[in-house]
DNA sequence: ATAATTTAATAGTCAAAGATGGTCAACTCG
DNA sequence: CGAGTTGACCATCTTTGACTATTAAATTAT
C-alpha cells in the first residue's frame, strides 16, 4: 500500500474515534511513518482539501501543530455550494471526480450515479482534438447540467 | 505460441483462480515475460476490451497498477449490442436521449441515472464553440464510457 | 523587571528524483 | 499486408530534501 494512503487512513481513523476535529504534530506523524515531514503536507493537500470535505489550519513554532477539521454539510447545502460557487466555468477531471465521490458519500447521489458522472467527464471521454481549456469548460457545463438535474429531482423523489 | 497469446492466457488464468477482478503491475508482468512493457498494453487493447467482456482501469505513479475487470455475460451482450450496433462513433442528442430512455424502461439503469446521462449529453452541456460534428463524436465517446461503467458495476452494486 | 536578542521547535514551499502506466510510430515476422 | 513487438518519449502520482517562515522559550542586555 502506498505511504500516502496509509497516512490518509491513519488520520481518518483518528477522526472517527475522536471528533470532527483533530490536532497533530507533523514531525511526530512523519517519524511514526518513517518519512519526510513534507510527506504529511502532500497527504493533506491531495486528500484533505475543501473538495474532500476538510479544512486545515496550522501554527508554526514551539508547540505548533496542524489541525484538521471535517466540514459537516448537508447534501443539499453542498449541492448548492457546488452549483453557485465551486464549479465555475471550468473544472478538471480530477476535481470533478473528487466532488462526485463526495456527493455519493453524502448520499446526495448513489455510488452508481457518481460513477456514471465520472465516466462522462473522464479524460477518455474527451479524446477529440480540442484545446484542454475548452474541455474543462465543457466539463463544467456538463457537471452543472447533471447536478441541476439531480437537485431538481432531489426535492420530489428520494435519494438517488 | 505468440507472446500476446501467452500473456492473454496468463491473465485469464489469474482471473479464474481469483475473482472477476485482478490487479497487476505492468512492469512486473512485462519483466516476467521478458518483453517491453507496452506489450502489455497491446494485449489489453486487443483482448481485454468491452467487446471481449472486460474493462480496464489504471493508475500511474508510485504504487500504481492496472485493474482488469470481467463483466457479466448479460451485461456484455447488452453492451456489445449498444456499442457496436447502435452508437457508432457519433450520436445526436436526440438519439442518445431515446437510447437512455429505452435502457431505463428495460430496467438496465434507473430513471435517475438515465436523467443524469441525458443531462450530460444534452445540447446545453455543449454550448462551446466547436463544430457540431465534433460534438456528436464527443457525445458518442461519453455514452460509451458511461455504458461500460454501468455494465462493469452491474455485477457488484445492486440497483441502478 | 523589561526589552531585546538568540535559540530551538515547529510548519510550509518547491523543485528534483523516483515509480508507475500510456501513446505512437517504426520495425519484424509469418 | 497485417498482427505482433519494441523503444523512445510522455503523463501522472509519490517521495524526499534543501531552504524558508513562524513562534515560543531561553538568554542576555539595560
| Chain A nearest C-alpha distance from B146 (Å) | 5
CB of A38 under 7 A from strand D? yes
- Find the distance separating the first CA and the last CA of chain A, reported in whole Å: 32
In Å, what is the separation between the CA of A122 and the C1' of D19?
38
Contact flag, residue B1 CB and nucleic strand D, below 7 A: no
More confident residue, A14 or B17: A14
Outline where B18-131 has alpha helix (H).
26-33, 37-47, 73-80, 93-105, 111-121
Is residue B22 within a helix (H) or strand (E), and if so which, with residue range?
Answer: strand B21-24
Cβ neighbours of A117 in B, within 8 Å: 116, 120
- Crossing angle of the two packed helices B3-17 and B26-33, in degrees rounded to 10: 120
Contact A66, A37 (CB under 8 A): no
What gap in Å lies between CA B142 and CA B133, rounded to an integer? 14
So what's the pLDDT on residue A157? Answer: 61
Whether residue B75 has pLDDT greater than 80? no
Question: Phi, psi at residue A21, to the nearest 5°?
Answer: -155, 125
CA–CA gap between residue B143 and residue B87 (Å, rounded)? 8
Q: Determine the residue of chain A that is closest to B111 in CA distance.
A: A160
With CB atoms and an 8 Å threshold, state whether B125 touches A138: yes
Of residues A21, A25, A28, the one with CA closest to residue A61: A25
- What percent of chain B stands above pLDDT 90? 69
Q: How confident is the model at residue A19 (pLDDT cuts 50, 70, 90)?
A: confident
Q: From CA A49, how far away is CA A47, in angstroms rounded? A: 6
Q: How much is the pLDDT for A158?
A: 53
From the number of C-beta atoms within 10 Å of its C-beta (0-12, 13-18, 19+), residue B110 rates as middle
Assign A160 a pLDDT band (cuts: 50, 70, 90).
Answer: very low
Confidence of residue B159 (pLDDT cuts 50, 70, 90): very low
Which residues in chain B are closer than 8 Å to A1, comparing Cβ atoms? 63
Mean pLDDT of A83-107: 95
Amino acid at each position: 500500500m502506498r505511504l500516502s494512503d496509509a497516512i490518509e487512513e491513519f488520520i481518518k481513523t483518528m477522526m472517527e474515534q475522536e471528533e470532527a476535529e483533530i490536532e497533530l504534530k507533523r514531525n511526530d506523524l512523519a517519524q511514526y511513518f518513517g518519512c519526510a515531514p513534507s510527506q504529511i503536507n502532500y497527504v493533506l493537500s491531495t486528500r484533505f482539501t475543501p473538495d474532500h470535505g476538510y479544512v486545515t489550519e496550522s501554527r508554526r513554532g514551539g508547540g505548533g501543530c496542524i489541525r484538521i477539521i471535517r466540514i459537516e454539510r448537508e447534501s443539499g447545502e453542498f449541492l448548492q455550494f457546488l452549483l453557485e460557487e465551486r464549479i465555475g466555468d471550468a473544472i478538471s477531471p480530477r476535481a470533478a471526480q473528487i466532488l462526485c465521490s463526495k456527493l455519493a458519500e453524502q448520499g446526495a447521489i448513489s455510488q452508481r450515479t457518481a460513477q456514471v458522472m465520472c465516466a462522462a467527464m473522464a479524460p477518455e471521454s474527451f479524446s477529440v482534438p480540442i484545446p484542454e481549456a475548452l474541455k474543462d469548460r465543457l466539463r463544467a457545463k456538463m457537471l452543472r447540467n447533471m447536478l441541476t438535474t439531480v437537485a431538481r429531482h432531489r426535492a420530489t423523489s428520494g435519494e438517488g
